[in-house]
Amino acid sequence: MTALVFCAALTVPGPLPYSQASAAASSSAEPDRPWTDRSLTPEERADLLLDAMTRREKVRMLHGSLGSPVPSTGYIAPIRRLGVPGVTMTDGPAGVRNGQKATALPAPVSQAASFDTDVAREYGETLGREARARGQMQVFGPGTNIQRVPVNGRNFEYFSEDPYLSGTIAGADTRGIQSQGVIATVKHYMANNQETDRMTVSAEIDERTLHEIYGTPFDLAVREGSPGSVMCSYNRVNSVYACSNSHALRTMLRSRFGFDGYVVSDYPSTHGSCDLAAGLNVELPLSFHVSGLSVRSPLRCGELTQDVVDQRVREILVVLFRFGFFERDGTATSPIDKAAGNAAAQRVVEKSAVLLKNEDDALPLTDSASRIAVVGSAADDSVQGGGSSQVDPLSEDTTLDAVKKRAPLAHVTHDDGRNVRAAADSAKSADVALVFAHDQEGEGGDRSGLSLPSNQDELISKVAAANPETVVVLQTGGPVLMPWLPRVKSVLETWYPGARGGAATARLLWGDVNPSGKLPQTFPAGEKEVPAHTKAQYPGVGGTAYYTEGVDVGYRWYDKTGTEPLFPFGHGLSYSSFTYSDLRMEKGSGGPRDPVSLSFTVTNTGKRAGSEAAQVYVSKPDTEADSPPRELAGYRKVSLKGGESKQMRLSVDPRQLSYWDTSSDAFRVREGEYGIGVGPSSRALPLSASYQVEE
């Protein structure tokens, strides 16, 4: 979304703090406003209020407005006669973007790279806290779409190519946002997986793939995060626009996923008043299909009924009552705690950076390096992705300054790399050359390819030729090709690291923090060595992108076809080393509704303390439906001192054993033998066992 700024296997969480506070408050109601009785449920209060509303007031709630009392990117006007509050909304997946300054959080993809739902929850809490301080009642985030094509311009805003990782991280992020009394908006629903032709392209997807891959992240986000809102996307899904798509909005989102919040449109992504009948609740500005005038004719001719209008309004009111907005001023502002925001941003980077290569233990750096050559413009800049998630930062640092501070006795030089020969010469005599490289992702367009832009590949190659002790630090939103990889010692991926990216990167380089991130998306070895490698698949032909790879998205395709990636899904090194042992299944068999419980031991065989994200994969029997060789079914991060061992216990939800059975329109676990693999990445699974599903 490009918004305008108008200045005027977790469990569903229990009641949020604002619900508890509301229940504890006085239940007395205003005599002429029975819906103000706080002893009633949100649903009961919504019914009472709905009965008091005129048709005009109801329709007003279904369209975004101008005139917000605080700077916002979206707004639902209040109904003062009845005490209905206005709703302020802000862009937000990477930090509050409402025309004011806020903490620039690391790119959202970093949450998934942490393989840690605690990190995602803290990220969400920070975003929610700052949104509330800015008088915002709703945040447009988290972004939950699948990273289907690695050149998608918004991959940095999304989490993963894997639906389970995406959904569980989205659920944790959502819980964090809403713990601050701010509505989270899971977006962009659904199949919004490219920016090319995003306003019109139709994602042609079979029903099994639609549910297993593209619906699952939203399903998990709803079940585990209980978001108050969902945003429907620009694109079409099987020829029907997402905000007009009753199959997506009503059948899948509400009936199958159990969503009970309200749906807002992207800007502009509505196509008619009857989008309300399809499941849309709020048409946000730039479109004018939902208004007092526009709904008259559909109501008269029966294309739209008053019951539908009432239901859409009721769904909004229930959420507003749940969040306590009738009892408090959601637009009240307070100062942002800059120190707390920066500290959270730094922790996210430190827990999500991925050490891709580390030959001869070139990292961590030591204080013996007396001459350090820093190369690349990204070292002296704070890189962000572009578009509606780009934050006006309260503060920012640079890695160049952080390196100088971390190595005060070293002679540190910097060359921005525009003149490749000069940069190589400056690095030649250094003890170590640190080359910082970045890509350019942003809303509104996809990357032209997987190579680093400008002359950065040549720059890295020439610096590495001049100095054999070359370390590359990537600041990217997703995969890039690395033709220079054999010639450099180490590669550290820090994504777009946000407000304290410099400080975090220096701590990672010197080993004050041990890298523990894992890749949430496969890094391809070649431009065409990707699942959607034909023009028909991406960007599409004749206005349609054909998802003919089916469920074989991301690492599933690499495993199915035997294609060797540059770096596999789940890969990530450490300054320590870890071994896996003693895999035990609690039971060797069970029914189709039984979880699969298992345990195993992870040992830190190094001397340095570190964290390891252990991953569990399931291989399904090839009966009734062809399945990928393996699928992520669980993960957990463990912190270990040098030489320490811990036993890990995980439970795989039966949903992770299932496939979408189109004949019964339901997820189904088939009988047969399932393979269980445990290890540090999708391509490194040293532990294995079998499990039998029996009726």
Residue-wise pLDDT for 436-485, tens only, equals 999 999 999 999 999 999 999 999 999 999 999 999 999 999 999 999 99
- Give residue 596's pLDDT: 98
Q: What is the DSSP string of 221-256?
A: HHHHH--SEEEE-SSEETTEEGGG-HIIIIIIIIII
Q: In this prediction, what percent of the chain has a pLDDT beyond 90? A: 91
- Nearest CA to 376 out of 429, 430, 413 is that of 413
At 27, the pLDDT band (50, 70, 90 cuts) reads low
At residue 1, the pLDDT reads 52
The predicted structure's pLDDT at residue 545: 98
pLDDT digits (tens, 9 = 90+) for 36-51: 999 999 999 999 999 9
The answer on pLDDT for 378 being more than 70 is: yes
Dihedral angle, C-alpha 557, 559, 564, 568, nearest 10 °: 90
> Does 623 have pLDDT greater than 90?
no
pLDDT digits (tens, 9 = 90+) for 182-240: 999 999 999 999 999 999 999 999 999 999 999 999 999 999 999 999 999 999 999 99
Does the annotation mark 594 as catalytic? no
Quick check: pTM over 0.85?
A: yes
Residue 593 has pLDDT above 60, yes or no: yes
* pLDDT, position 288: 80
Confidence bin at 401 (pLDDT 50/70/90):
very high
Residues 476 and 369 sit within 8 Å (Cβ to Cβ) = no
pLDDT at 276: 96
Mean residue pLDDT of the chain comes to: 94
Strand partners, 433: 373, 470
Report pLDDT digits (tens) over 323-342.
999 999 999 999 999 999 99
Q: Is 665 left (phi over 0), alpha (psi -120 to 50) or beta?
A: left
Q: Tens digit of pLDDT for each residue in 633-646? A: 999 999 999 999 99
Burial class (CB in 10 A: 0-12, 13-18, 19+), 45: buried
Angle at the Cα of 152 from the Cα atoms of 355 and 176, rounded to 5 degrees: 65
What confidence score (pLDDT) does residue 16 get?
44
Going by C-alpha positions, the residue among 218, 329, 306, 320 that lies closest to residue 262 is 320
Q: How far apart are CA 166 and CA 70, in angstroms?
A: 32
In this structure, are residues 532 and 514 in contact, taking their beta carbons and an 8 Å threshold? no
Q: Is it the case that residue 6 has pLDDT exceeding 60?
A: no
Confidence of residue 15 (pLDDT cuts 50, 70, 90): very low
Cβ–Cβ under 8 Å, residues 163 and 212: yes
Task: Please report the pLDDT score of residue 632 as a whole number.
Answer: 98
Which residue of the set 116, 219, 266, 275 is catalytic?
Answer: 266
Buried b (16+ CB within 10 A) or exposed e, 190-219: bbbbbbbbbeebbbbbeeebbbbbbbbbbb
Range scoring the smallest mean pLDDT among 302-306, 447-451, 530-534, 687-691: 302-306
- Report the DSSP pairing between strands 202-204 and 544-546: parallel
**Looking at residues 485-511, what average pLDDT do you find?**
98
Q: Model confidence at 617, in pLDDT bands (50, 70, 90)?
A: very high
CA gap 376, 354 in Å, rounded = 20
Distance, CA of 156 to CA of 5 (rounded, Å): 22
- Per-residue pLDDT, averaged over 356-370, amounts to 96
